[in-house]
Amino acid sequence: MSTVDSLNKGISAHGQWKQRLAEAIKTGKSEWTPAIVKQDNQCEFGKWLYSCSADEKASPHYETIKKMHAEFHQCAGGILEKALSGNTTDAEAEIGMGSQYRTISAGLTTEMMKWKNELS
C-alpha cells in the first residue's frame, strides 16, 4: 500500500472516532477497550506508522504525526474510559467544541493532509 493510501485510510479511520466516542457516551458500551484505544500501535494506521520505510520516516511530517497520533489515542482512550464508567458529562465535554480531543484530532488530520498533498 502506498504512503498516500495509508494516509487516506488513517484520516478516514481517525475521523470515525468522534462518532464511536459519541455512541459510547450514549450507550455506555463499546467494542473497544480504553486500554487498547490508548495504544497508538493497535490501529491499522499506527501499525503502518511504526513499520514505515526509512524514506517515509525521513519525511518532515513523520515525527509530528507520530507524536500527534499518540496524543490522539491517549485522549480518545481517556474519553472512552469516562464514557464506559458512566461519567457522561465529562466525556461529552471532552469531545465537544474547543476540547483537547477536537484540537488534537484536527491537528492530526491537518498534518496527515499536508504529507499526503506533498506526495500527490
Confidence of residue 82 (pLDDT cuts 50, 70, 90): very high
Q: Give the residue-averaged pLDDT of 78-97.
A: 97
> Per residue in 92-114, pLDDT tens?
999 999 999 999 999 999 999 99
Query: How do the domains of the chain map onto residue ranges?
Result: 3-119
> Per residue in 26-40, pLDDT tens?
999 999 999 999 999
Q: Where are the alpha helices (DSSP H) in 1-120?
A: 3-15, 17-27, 34-37, 44-50, 54-57, 62-84, 88-95, 100-119
Q: How many residues does the chain have?
A: 120
pTM: 0.94
CATH fold label, 3-119: Four Helix Bundle (Hemerythrin (Met), subunit A) (1.20.120)
Exposure of 2 by Cβ count < 10 A (0-12 exposed, 13-18 middle, 19+ buried)? exposed
Work out the mean pLDDT of the chain and round it to a whole number. 96
Check residue 58 and report its DSSP letter: T
Q: What is the pLDDT of residue 120?
A: 83
Q: What is the pLDDT of residue 100?
A: 96
Q: Give the residue-averaged pLDDT of 44-49.
A: 96
